[in-house]
A and B are shown apart, each in its own frame.
Chain A
Amino acid sequence: MKKVNMTIDGIQIYVPENYTILEAAKEVGIKIPTLCFLKDINEVGCCRMCIVEVKGAKALQAACVYPVSEGMEVFTHTPKVMEARKVNLELILSNHNARCQTCNRSMADCELQALANKLKVEDVRFEGESEKLPLDVGPSIVRDPNKCILCRRCVSACKNIQTVAVIDLVNRGFNTQVASPFGQPLSETPCVNCGQCINYCPVGALKEKSDVDKVWEAIYDPDKYVIAQTAPAVRVALGEDFNMPIGTPVTGKMVTALKMIGFDKVFDTDTAADLTIMEEGNELIDRIRGGGKLPLITSCSPGWIKFCEHNYPDFLDNLSTCKSPHQMFGSILKSYYAEKNGIDPSKIYVVSVMPCTAKKFEAGRPEMNVDGLADVDCVITTRELGEMIYDIGMDFPELGDSEFDNPFGEGTGAGHIFGATGGVMEAALRTVADILNGNSADNFSYEEVRGLEGIKVATVEIADLKLRAAVAHGLGNARKLMDMVKSGEEEFHFIEIMACPGGCVNGGGQPLQLSEVRSWIDIRAERAKGLYKEDNKSFIRKSHNNPAIKKLYKEYLGMAGGSRSHKLLHTHYTARQNYGK
């Protein structure tokens, strides 16, 4: 890369010519304030917070999109710059519902508030008209247009990363809003509830639909037997809500917190992930041997499922009929576990703690019940659990470690890695290889399906089979992969798709990280590292070797794919309309 000489605030630097002023300034240790900017995701220069003086340029320029050039002289903190930034921020604030006292983003997660402090905005001088717009409350996501500052980060996430594209800027001038076409609620659009928009929102305009109250109510209901289950990705992110380093595994502390909150039992969804592998692995072998519909596509990610129902209805028969792990778990808890422990299943209240907002929608799908009892009664996100812990004043980092309850307290390494892209594929391959080879292989890492490449393809030789596998994460990549499969350009036996970029570790319900972290640190990789660490530490690393699962099949389910499994653990899908068509 060619480099250029330039100065920033009088400091001479030599930087690659494809840098923006913002990146160059970072090299010399100057953090220019930003608001709409998210590296590689939203680089539009619309908020005008990062404006700087460029010698010879007529007006102030947005550093986040202005390319460097040879001999350029930049000034980042002249009075003109500082005053202009402040006025711009005041204008944004003048049309922002600043009810910070009651906003969930207040304190640590509001980038607007942080900026107002940083730029020393003491009073908002502009009092214009403002309109009170209604909230859009869906099963997973709540939008508050009164807090939206039109930075477009959510639009970029929805349109460019996920290619779901159900929100965009509408109307003009003062009436501009981020909204769905014809002002429809998100729940009536092909929105998949992935919640990536929430992760990128700098303010409180987007959040999950909170179900915290429902959880407290159940806990203090003496009639209810309340069980918590926690997904793999939660344990490597929850600590971030308490300022712990990104990706720190906090499994033991999390279990302690859940017990202190008052759950009757705390189980590990990783165990259910092992159950999913048994069913899905079996389904794969059946389809390959029995000439069933291929490729088999994983069904753990409810965002992907809804995306498929809207966009690839011809492939619904390719989706694994397996319910996702937490749904499987719910139905096992209300059947096998209830029976074994003499508990009335209608009194069992299952709370899933998930990194995911789409799981809220999934749990409410009419198919997700057995004999009229919902598998899962309530889904809360990692963030909501963090909130509960914070609200009752628990000093989370100082908590001691506890173990999950038996009999579903031990997930295998295969279950742990479910939370990262490629993890479900790898877990399945570990089990399928052993079943087809009829022995236990020592080498069970499938490195080629790990990592953050958008689409990963591998050919794995198992017994006499050359298994073609593909992994996609993020729905934009999923779309590319599905188009290849649809056109016949590529053929696979098995495909794993996770709706969120990086997989569940970067789910729409995970702790928020500000743009200044997200732009420069790959939180997906950091959190995934935590999961692979847990996998390496695990004594048992293959799902079919999980003693709890073996026992479950022996005592109750019979065989994988058997009739009881089908009743409890499998489901079906429905083609969905796009805007009424």
Chain B
Amino acid sequence: MCDNCTNIIGTQEQFDALNAVIAKHKGTRGALIPVLHEAQEVYGYLPMEVQREIAEQLEIPLAEVYGVVSFYAQFSINPKGKYRVNVCMGTACYVKGSNDILDEFKQALGIDVGDCTEDGLFSLDACRCIGACGLAPVVTVNDEVFGKLEAEDVEGIVEKFKALEAEA
């Protein structure tokens, strides 16, 4: 394997996309956060190798890059599932019982908050207020929103995506 190959993170397509993202923002003030954002879209998360590449090319110390990544809840250093479950823990959702919803998801998926199922299908996170308080308690799976939930609804949601996967 050539020297360059060993430094590639993920697939060649992902690596090319990462380089394109960095090239697009390099040289502009405050490039780091948009680069991290778009890099996470490419990889689904921000592993050390991706952060190291960004740090090197933007000439920002890795410690600083990691500091930013670990500060914002939107960034993840762990792989996410194909279906990313986010349970809103904002005030309105919380008082409407989002904690129970979260527990129900933990049970149904057999994972803890921040983790990903072994088959890579689901990941579970608790998030800050997403601004849909009228629908509290609220859960998002990727871009789909589920509102006014009760604990009993959780199983149905999980089944829905499992079925989707079985079809595919």
Structural contact, A581 and B66, CB atoms closer than 8 A = no
Instruction: Please choose the segment from A53-61, A167-175, A529-537 that sits at the chain B interface, where 4 or more of its residues have CB less than 8 A away.
Output: A167-175
How distant is the Cα of A181 from the Cα of B66 in the complex, in angstroms?
6
* Least Cβ–Cβ distance between A156 and chain B, in angstroms: 12
Tell me, yes or no, whether B67 is within 8 Å of chain A by CB.
yes
Structural contact, B64 and A165, CB atoms closer than 8 A = yes
Q: Contacts A181-B51, A579-B52: A171 and B64 contacting too (C-beta < 8 A)?
A: no
Name A529-581 residues within 8 Å CB distance of B.
Answer: 578-581
Partner of B63, one of A165, A580, A581: A165
Partner of A168, one of B48, B52, B56, B63: B63
Tell me, yes or no, whether B61 is within 8 Å of chain A by CB.
yes
By secondary structure, the A interface counts as loop
* Least Cβ–Cβ distance between A287 and chain B, in angstroms: 30
How distant is the Cα of A167 from the Cα of B48 in the complex, in angstroms?
15
Contacts of A168 in B (CB 8 A): 61, 63-64, 66-67
Tell me, yes or no, whether A520 is within 8 Å of chain B by CB.
no
Structural contact, B63 and A167, CB atoms closer than 8 A = yes
Name A421-436 residues within 8 Å CB distance of B.
Answer: none
Tell me, yes or no, whether B7 is within 8 Å of chain A by CB.
yes
Structural contact, B48 and A181, CB atoms closer than 8 A = yes
* Least Cβ–Cβ distance between A164 and chain B, in angstroms: 8
Tell me, yes or no, whether A224 is within 8 Å of chain B by CB.
no
Contacts of A578 in B (CB 8 A): 52, 62
Contacts of B63 in A (CB 8 A): 159, 165-168, 170, 180-181, 189
Q: Contacts A171-B70, A172-B70: A581 and B52 contacting too (C-beta < 8 A)?
A: yes
> Please, what's the 1-or-0 string for B55-76, where 1 marks a CB less than 8 Å from any CB in chain A?
0100001111111001111000
Structural contact, A182 and B66, CB atoms closer than 8 A = yes
Partner of B67, one of A170, A579, A580, A581: A170
Tell me, yes or no, whether B77 is within 8 Å of chain A by CB.
yes
How distant is the Cα of A169 from the Cα of B65 in the complex, in angstroms?
10
Q: Which residue of A lies closest to B51 (CB)?
A: A181
Contacts of B67 in A (CB 8 A): 168-170
Structural contact, B48 and A579, CB atoms closer than 8 A = yes
Contacts of B66 in A (CB 8 A): 168, 170, 181-182
Name B58-117 residues within 8 Å CB distance of A.
Answer: 61-67, 70-73, 77
Q: Contacts A168-B66, A168-B67: A182 and B61 contacting too (C-beta < 8 A)?
A: no
Contacts of A159 in B (CB 8 A): 61, 63-64
How distant is the Cα of A168 from the Cα of B71 in the complex, in angstroms?
11
Partner of A581, one of B7, B61, B65, B77: B7
Contacts of A189 in B (CB 8 A): 63
Contacts of A170 in B (CB 8 A): 63, 66-67, 70-71
Structural contact, A182 and B48, CB atoms closer than 8 A = yes
How distant is the Cα of A159 from the Cα of B63 in the complex, in angstroms?
9
* Least Cβ–Cβ distance between B67 and chain A, in angstroms: 4
Interface residue range, chain A: 10 to 19
Contacts of A180 in B (CB 8 A): 63
Structural contact, B71 and A181, CB atoms closer than 8 A = no
How distant is the Cα of A581 from the Cα of B67 in the complex, in angstroms?
20
Contacts of A171 in B (CB 8 A): 70-71
* Least Cβ–Cβ distance between B124 and chain A, in angstroms: 19
Name A165-216 residues within 8 Å CB distance of B.
Answer: 165-172, 180-182, 189
Name B14-67 residues within 8 Å CB distance of A.
Answer: 48, 51-52, 56, 61-67
> Please, what's the 1-or-0 string for A96-136, where 1 marks a CB less than 8 Å from any CB in chain B?
00000000000000000000000000000000000000000
Partner of A181, one of B7, B56, B62, B73: B62
Contacts of A580 in B (CB 8 A): 48, 52
How distant is the Cα of A47 from the Cα of B70 in the complex, in angstroms?
22
Contacts of B7 in A (CB 8 A): 581
Q: Contacts A182-B48, A182-B77, A579-B52: A165 and B71 contacting too (C-beta < 8 A)?
A: no
Q: Which residue of B lies closest to A158 (CB)?
A: B63
Structural contact, B52 and A165, CB atoms closer than 8 A = no
Contacts of A182 in B (CB 8 A): 48, 66, 77
How distant is the Cα of A165 from the Cα of B56 in the complex, in angstroms?
13
* Least Cβ–Cβ distance between B42 and chain A, in angstroms: 19
Contacts of A172 in B (CB 8 A): 70-73
> Please, what's the 1-or-0 string for B110-151, where 1 marks a CB less than 8 Å from any CB in chain A?
000000000000000000000000000000000000000000
How distant is the Cα of A181 from the Cα of B50 in the complex, in angstroms?
13
* Least Cβ–Cβ distance between B52 and chain A, in angstroms: 5
Contacts of B73 in A (CB 8 A): 172
Q: Which residue of A lies closest to B72 (CB)?
A: A172
> In the complex, which of the residues B51, B63, B71 has the most CB atoms of chain A within 10 Å of its own CB atom?
B63
How distant is the Cα of A182 from the Cα of B61 in the complex, in angstroms?
13
Contacts of A581 in B (CB 8 A): 7, 52, 56
* Least Cβ–Cβ distance between A133 and chain B, in angstroms: 15
* Least Cβ–Cβ distance between B150 and chain A, in angstroms: 31
How distant is the Cα of A172 from the Cα of B73 in the complex, in angstroms?
9
Contacts of B56 in A (CB 8 A): 581
How distant is the Cα of A461 from the Cα of B157 in the complex, in angstroms?
83
> Please, what's the 1-or-0 string for A355-368, where 1 marks a CB less than 8 Å from any CB in chain B?
00000000000000
* Least Cβ–Cβ distance between B32 and chain A, in angstroms: 13
How distant is the Cα of A189 from the Cα of B71 in the complex, in angstroms?
21
* Least Cβ–Cβ distance between B138 and chain A, in angstroms: 23
> In the complex, which of the residues B71, B73, B77 has the most CB atoms of chain A within 10 Å of its own CB atom?
B71
How distant is the Cα of A20 from the Cα of B61 in the complex, in angstroms?
30
How distant is the Cα of A581 from the Cα of B4 in the complex, in angstroms?
11
* Least Cβ–Cβ distance between A569 and chain B, in angstroms: 35
How distant is the Cα of A171 from the Cα of B72 in the complex, in angstroms?
8
How distant is the Cα of A581 from the Cα of B54 in the complex, in angstroms?
13
How distant is the Cα of A470 from the Cα of B7 in the complex, in angstroms?
36
How distant is the Cα of A308 from the Cα of B34 in the complex, in angstroms?
32
Q: Which residue of B lies closest to A155 (CB)?
A: B63
Contacts of B77 in A (CB 8 A): 182
How distant is the Cα of A581 from the Cα of B73 in the complex, in angstroms?
27
Q: What are 5 A-B pairs with beta-carbon distances under 8 A?
A: A159-B63, A168-B64, A181-B63, A182-B66, A581-B56
Supply 4 further A-B pairs (C-beta < 8 A) apart from A159-B63, A165-B64.
A168-B66, A181-B62, A181-B65, A581-B56
**Residues of A near any B CB (own CB < 8 A):** 159, 165-172, 180-182, 189, 578-581
Which 9 residue pairs across A and B have the least CB separation, nearest first?
A: A165-B61, A181-B66, A168-B63, A168-B67, A170-B70, A181-B62, A172-B71, A171-B70, A170-B67
